Structure 1
Amino acid sequence: MKNAVRVHAALFVVALIYAANYSISKDVMPRYMGPFGLVLLRIVGAALFFGIVSRIVAPQDRITGRADNLRAIACGLLGIGLNQLLFFSGLNLTSPINASLIQTVAPIVTVLASVVLLGEKLTLPRLLGIGLAGVGAALIILGRGHGPAAAPGQDTMLGNLFILLNATAFGVYLVIVMPLMRKYHPFTVLARIFLVGAVLAVPAGWQQVQQPDYASFPLGIWAAIVYMVVCLTIMAYLLNNWALKYASPSLLGAYIYLQPALAVLIAVSLGKDTLTTAKALQALLIFGGVFLVSRKPKHQPVATAIPLEPVQD
């Protein structure tokens, strides 16, 4: 019982960390730093942390073999580099509520990738769920929204599209990272994929990370940047990977639904966004679709739980 409470507490904290990021990141971008600069700080910081910790907790563990090394490179490019570059670029251009809702399509992409790569069964309810969620996401992406006026230079539709691509990249990553997480120590895998992600993030964000006048940053902006590097990346990954030892896929799915709900509450309470009837209906379409897709076909073994980061994650 104690362990169950700890698992729920860990998953709730992770959901809260991701949900708060939608509003916190908007305080930093684009006024103080561009999205690629934030990605560079986050990925390099995490790469250093996981690289050091992996040498302490699993010093003899190494990813070996051509196939596993190529898989790790693909995971780093899709799940870390492209995932975060697309996410922060999209969040910079769209609203926190839009971004949090669109990211919930990541489990659907995971199912589609499992069908193609792992031969999972695609049932009628899953097809219906994909259609429902697709309609909901399309309405958000194509809608002009009724929230606060967009800042100069923002393009809500393009931002929504980036978030959808971000969710797609992360959904595929969740499938291809499974064999590595089963075979090697999690810190060994995280150290390698963040290192690969850094190779992509450093050239993309180098210019933006040099532009800001750091001496002029208010304390609140420094706190937001520290939050994104320490809490959003390191703490969330640590809690997630610990919870994955005990949590079922259905429980992880329930907490995926919680993230946008928390993101909406935080964004609305801080005045960062407004929840309209149209957005609520679009959210219901997506949640209904994800629910149908997440249901396992009968007589099919339950997949091993895998690390989830909204598709932020």
Structure 2
Amino acid sequence: MDLRQFTGHAAMFGANAMWGIMSPVSKMVMAGSIISPMVVTDCRVLGAAVLFWILSLFMKKDPVAPKDLLLLLLASQCAIVFNQGSFVFGVSLTSPIDASIITTSLPILTLVISAFYLKEPVTIRKIIGIIFGATGALLLVLGGAKGGGNGSNIWGDLLIFAAQLSFSIYLVFFRGLIARYSPVTIMKWMFTGSSLSLLPFTFGDLLAIDWTALQWRYLAGIAFIVGCGTFLSYLLVSVGQKRLRPTIVSIYNYIQPMAASVVAIMWGMDTFTLMKTVAVAFVFTGVFLVTQNRNRTLAEKAIEKNRQS
């Protein structure tokens, strides 16, 4: 493994660890019903946009072609607006562990979309993996629908799944665009586009919060969500996306349940049930199967050829 690949793997590990921790942190911030899911989303989008613009002032200028700027604004809808909006609303309705387990469906979704768009080969092993992963997700959703305690909720689970679908579309369809610019430039314009989409409709909710009356733990939670769960994590994802294939980028999602579980259980917010344990086993088995390929080198060449044609 060369340095370029190593930094890509390290970036994806760090980003997904922070996203995993963000599930219980977001649940804690919204638990008192003082801060709504929409306000959390606004904080993430606007806060990250400001941080990326500030960081860009210290970076070498990286002008973006008008056509690519429009594509970046479109990418922002998939990677940020729909992804973050669905995730935050979803995690407010379901448990942190459920949310992070469902995020492990991202590699499966990414593989399916890659098969159609990038013509990535689909083997019997990968098909079996998709079946395993889908079964695990179904067990988790059905467990939430029965009201199995610990905050599980079918609508929250489905919103988390929708968030993964929108991000998988971003990973596959916009990989070539991401490779042309620096991570800071990419994220600066994507979060700007997201702010333009969201804030005209939600800025009133943001201003209605009495920020001076909030307890320090809520403010610290929002600071983590903006600084680590959004700014740093999206920056690291952009680095990983430039160095690794979409399916490899997406496999690091399995770090999220581990990080979320440790924090949620330490805080007494969640517990593992037998149903969740079985669901985890199915999803992780599916993720492992669909991301393994005995002929990986040939597959990568085929994907690269299809993307360039």
**Normalized against structure 2, the TM-score is what?**
0.86
**Aligned residue in 2 for 1:142:** 142
Unaligned runs of 5+ in 2: 305-309
Give distance in 1, aligned partners of 2:267 and 2:29: 15
SS of aligned partner of 1:280: helix
Given that residues 38 and 89 in structure 2 are in contact (C-alpha distance below 8 angstroms), is that contact kept between their aligned partners in structure 1?
A: yes
Alignment partner for residue 35 of structure 2, among 30, 33, 39? 33
Could you report, residue by residue, the CA deviation over 1:212-265 in whole angstroms, capped at 9, with x for unpaired residues?
222220111111111111111112233444456666778756642222112112
1:259 aligns with 256
Does 1:15 find its partner at 2:12? no
Change (3 A) 1:201 1:87: same
Q: Structure 2: how far apart are the matches of 1:8 and 1:85?
A: 26
Q: Which amino acid aligns with 2:21?
A: A
Letter in 1 for 2:222: I
**Distance in 2 (alpha carbons) for counterparts of 1:18 and 1:96:** 11
Give CA deviations for 1:153-198 in whole Å, capped at 9, x if unaligned.
xx81110010010111111111122011112222222112111111
The number of equivalent residue pairs is 297
1:85 paired residue number: 85
The more displaced of 178-187 and 208-217 is: 208-217
1:295 Cα shift? 1.9
AA of the residue aligned to 2:129: G
- Provide the residue aligned with 1:177 in structure 2: 174
8 Å Cα contact 1:63/1:188 also seen in 2: no
Query: Which structure has greater helix proportion?
Result: 2
Alignment-derived partner of residue 44 in structure 2: 42
SS in 1 for 2:135: helix
Q: Percent identity?
A: 30
2:307 corresponds to: none
Which string of whole-angstrom CA distances, capped at 9 and with x for unpartnered residues, describes residues 259-304 of structure 1? 2112112111111111011101001111111111112362211668
Using the TM superposition, give the Cα deviation of residue 9 of structure 1 relative to its aligned residue in structure 2, in angstroms.
5.9
- The reply on whether 1:95 has 2:92 as its aligned counterpart is no
Partner of 1:63: 65
Partner of 1:301: 300
Give the distance between the partners of 1:6 and 1:69, measured in 2 at CA: 27
Query: How many angstroms apart in 2 are the aligned matches of 1:176 and 1:55?
Result: 29
Q: Normalised by the size of structure 1, how large is the TM-score? A: 0.85
Q: Is the 8 A contact 2:48 2:231 kept in 1?
A: yes
* Residue 177 to residue 119, structure 1, CA distance change in 2 (3 Å): same
Other-structure match for 1:165: 162
Deviation string, structure 1 residues 67-116 (Cα, Å, up to 9, x no partner): x3443232111111111000000000000010000011111111111122
Q: Distance in 2 between matches of 1:47 and 1:7?
A: 23
Structure 1 residue 33: deviation in Å? 0.7
Shift of 1:2: 12
Taking the aligned partners of 2:249 and 2:136, their CA distance within structure 1 comes to: 22
RMSD, matched Cα: 2.7
Q: Residue 209 of structure 1: CA displacement?
A: 1.6
